[in-house]
A and B are shown apart, each in its own frame.
Chain A
Amino acid sequence: MNSNRNERKGGVLTEVLALKNITKDYPGVKALDDVSISFEEGEVHALIGENGAGKSTFIKTISGAIKPTSGTIAYEGKEYPYLEPKQAIDMGIAVVYQELIQFEAMSVADNIFMGVESESKGLVVNEKERCEKAKALLAKFDCDVNPATLIRELSIANRQIIELAKAMVRNAKIVIMDEPTAAITVSEQEKLYQVVKQLKADGVTVIYISHRLEELFEICDRVSVLRDGQYVTTVNIEDIDKQDMIKYMVGRELSNAYPPKEPAQSEVVLEVENLSGNGVEGINFQLHKGEILGFAGLVGAGRTELMHLIFGNAKKTSGIIKVKGKEVHLSSANDGMKAGIGLIPEDRKFQGCFIDKPIFWNISISDIDHLTKGGVVDQKAEMKLAEDYKERLKIKTPFLKQLTSGLSGGNQQKVVIAKVLASNPDILIFDEPTRGIDIGARHEIYLLMNELAESGKSILMVSSDMEELLGMSERIIVLHEGHQAGEISKAEFSQERVLSFASGI
């Protein structure tokens, strides 16, 4: 490990937590293999790696959710073979999970103080006093949420801040944040960074997990990289750039993050005129054959809503949708599919596929009526269809009868794409095509999208990943609060331009 780390930035830093030679065996796989990382007081330490690299196993070891097979955890000078969850909390370790576990129907103050013993003396809760305490606590983070508000009424970013306040009440010395910015808007990100900086100033150690590599440069001091359960390196943030981070994560250089694609043809396949409904208003655009048209906007700008409107899954209030020059009236997803439109939804697990069903079952379901003889499913035809798509999309699985839940995120997404392609659409809508998918598998999805476009399909793509949007699209339409804020052609692509339209400037 890095021997001169204590001299970083001149100050003398003390190690507060160190995991030494941690190994975690699961049947048939080493989730962690002899990993040693140490954390210093008051640092923001990023932990990066592809999905499956062992990040979550690593966090769970610290929070006491799992017991490592071997290795030790050193905390404030003492060594432990493992931690119990309660022990970890008492020692001042707090985790803010990506999927927040909160009391949705209870107030902010309730959530902050729940289970804190000094607050539950006596039978009667002094609501007023608690609210004031909570308010003071939140003021420190520049958060002016009313402590009496119910948690479910808050934005994700504010809910995360509540979670951090909760950690502070429990005197947390180490706070682990698991992809805090995955689901929040740009302006909220800034707010969250401020809170992280405040925690750091208070001497709290923050372990920060994120797939958004750019943000690490803004808030982190050091970065540790895991790959396939093994420790790769720890470096100071000023000594590394993004390219190197990716290299460490994937173990090779990704030669071409966004593969090149043949330009679109001139034929117009989809026309949207003055379309309104489902929270969007006055949308106008044309989609050409073989084109990838990107849709940008902040969370809540109405991108997904617009896609569902075009797909027929939501009712339009006015406007015209024309497919290949003919006006269509869509009142259900089924209508959309009949008109030749396919949707790959943003939420793979809850909208995209039947996660507890086999792969072949998922692929055939949207075309099941055509795979029958007199109403009876033709199993041979069904398996052949699934086999074809497995080959074509390179779905990595030994058996088509395997449950979809057993696949990696990238392969699950391919199953969803296969399911949509099986109904043979000409227009494909990809809503957040690579969310939660690791870098290697992303590349395959990009190649696939290009291949589809080059074979004559036309694609609408919604993405919150700005680089992906700029890298893959040939044109970008930016939405702002349900309105079309602007259209940008490839020659004018830049993050700044997209962002200024998206923020309504």
Chain B
Amino acid sequence: MEKANKKSIGEILVDLSLPILLVALVIFFSIMTDKFFTPLNLTNILVQNVHVAVCSCAVMIIMISGGCDLSIGYQMSVAAVLVCKMMTVYGVPVPVALLCAVVLCSLLGTFNGFMAQKLKSNTMIVTLGTMAIFQGISYLISESKTYHNLPKSYMFLGQSKVFGVIPVNVIIMIVIVVIVGFVMGKTAIGRKVYAAGDNPEAGRLAGLNVAKIKVLSFTVAGVLVGISAILLSARSGSADSSTGVGIEFTGITACVLSGVALKGGEGTLWKVIVAVFVLGILANGMQLINLGTYPQYIAKGVIMLVSLYMTNKNSKAM
């Protein structure tokens, strides 16, 4: 029997479950506290999650290519301390420092991808190893210090607003999301990344250079991680070796929540971004209604399990 292509109501609901969840959370927190639905707070949520969104783009690309990168947090850490130390200690001009951070992260990403290919090993295990290496490098660079007093032009990227309303970093995020969405969704190279992740063997026999595509995915993800490190340190105004650490888990959570397949080959960017803000609103709202960090962990976990249940149930029903 051949399956018709029309989506059932259930499938459409699952498709829209994240936006629905987002709206429900907004309504819930607006009712619970009048501090939530204010221009200031909503802008805060946006601004605070800019680096998470950019980083989740990186996680998504890697996951679609069939990989997983646990070292992203420490890649960010290395980039953040490097760029900040260069500017504050050595007085390197801001643009040069920015470029260095991005180039460095793309190299770290490439190293991950290359090692996974060379060792013919699972990327999760490989990056578990490189994570430790990057952690060491980060502390060697930072000497366990925190770097403050960053140049004004650097802070501009994280703290200023265009026309006094639109935060600069939000604009940067939107530009990046649009570019990544376009490349993954509309271009031949994006199509190849999906193919390499979905079925590497079929991809190879269809003439694709699967190994190259997979390494390249890590390289591109590295660029995004570097940008994310800049956005985070520019907003917070400082950097140390704990900057960005643990962000890979938020990114992976957002990706899984949005239905990016762990086995590769599947994932939609807008859903990932919505998932990032679902998690962001959850954290912000729970803080405002005076639930501390620990209940937030529980809520995150529950949402994750419920979303897995929904996806599973739906795929079985087909």
Contacts and interface: CB of A to CB of B under 8 A. Distances in A.
A377 B5 contact: no
Given A332-B209, A398-B5, A375 B189 contact: yes
Contacts of B265: 354, 356-357
A200 to B, nearest CB: 36
Given A396-B2, A401-B5, A402-B3, A371 B188 contact: yes
B119 interface: no
* Chain A CB within 10 Å, residue with most, of B186, B198, B203, B206: B206
B266 interface: yes
Contact of A377 (B4, B188, B201): B188
* Chain B CB within 10 Å, residue with most, of A352, A357, A361, A423: A357
A437 to B, nearest CB: 15
B3 A29 contact: no
A140 B265 CA distance: 49
A319 B203 CA distance: 27
A371 B266 CA distance: 22
Contacts of A357: 194-195, 198, 265
Interface string B194-205: 110011011111
B198 A402 contact: no
A222 interface: no
B206 A406 contact: no
A354 B199 contact: yes
The range of chain A's interface size is 35 or more
A375 B187 contact: yes
Contact of A343 (B188, B192, B205, B209): B205
B164 interface: no
B39 interface: no
Given A313-B205, A377-B191, A356 B266 contact: yes
Contacts of B266: 356
A333 B202 contact: no
A411 B2 CA distance: 10
Interface string B1-12: 111110000000
B107 interface: no
B2 A402 contact: yes
Nearest to A312: B207
A375 B183 CA distance: 9
A98 interface: no
A334 B208 contact: yes
Nearest to A401: B5
Interface in A20-46: 26, 28-29
Nearest to A28: B1
Interface in A337-356: 337, 343, 345, 350-356
B2 A397 contact: yes
A397 B4 CA distance: 9
Contacts of B4: 398-399, 402
A286 interface: no
A370 to B, nearest CB: 9
Nearest to B261: A356
Interface string B149-165: 00000000000000000
Contacts of B191: 361, 365, 368, 377
B207 A375 contact: no
B207 A354 contact: no
A352 B199 CA distance: 9
Contact of A368 (B3, B188, B201, B205): B188
Contact of B3 (A52, A351, A403): A403
A407 B199 CA distance: 18
A332 B204 CA distance: 8
B209 A334 contact: yes
A372 B195 contact: no
Given A354-B265, A372-B187, A376-B186, A333 B205 contact: yes
A232 B301 CA distance: 54
A371 B206 CA distance: 15
A369 interface: yes
A233 interface: no
A257 B285 CA distance: 70
Interface string A318-342: 0000000000000011101100000
Nearest to B266: A356
A350 B199 contact: yes
Contacts of A333: 204-207
A419 interface: yes
Contact of B205 (A351, A376, A407): A351
A334 B192 CA distance: 14
A376 B186 CA distance: 6
A116 B293 CA distance: 50
A337 B202 contact: no
Given A351-B202, A354-B265, A355-B199, A366 B2 contact: no
B199 A337 contact: no
Contacts of B207: 332-334, 336-337, 366, 423
A355 B205 CA distance: 14
Nearest to A369: B188
Interface in B163-197: 186-189, 191-192, 194-195
Interface in B259-291: 265-266
B206 to A, nearest CB: 4
Given A354-B195, A355-B199, 5 more contacts: A333-B205, A354-B199, A356-B266, A357-B198, A365-B208
16 contacts: A28-B1, A52-B1, A313-B205, A334-B207, A334-B208, A351-B201, A354-B195, A357-B195, A365-B192, A366-B206, A372-B187, A375-B187, A375-B189, A376-B187, A377-B187, A398-B4
Interface of B: 1-5, 186-189, 191-192, 194-195, 198-199, 201-209, 265-266
- The 7 lowest CB-CB distance pairs between A and B, nearest first, are A406-B3, A399-B5, A366-B206, A334-B207, A337-B207, A368-B188, A402-B5
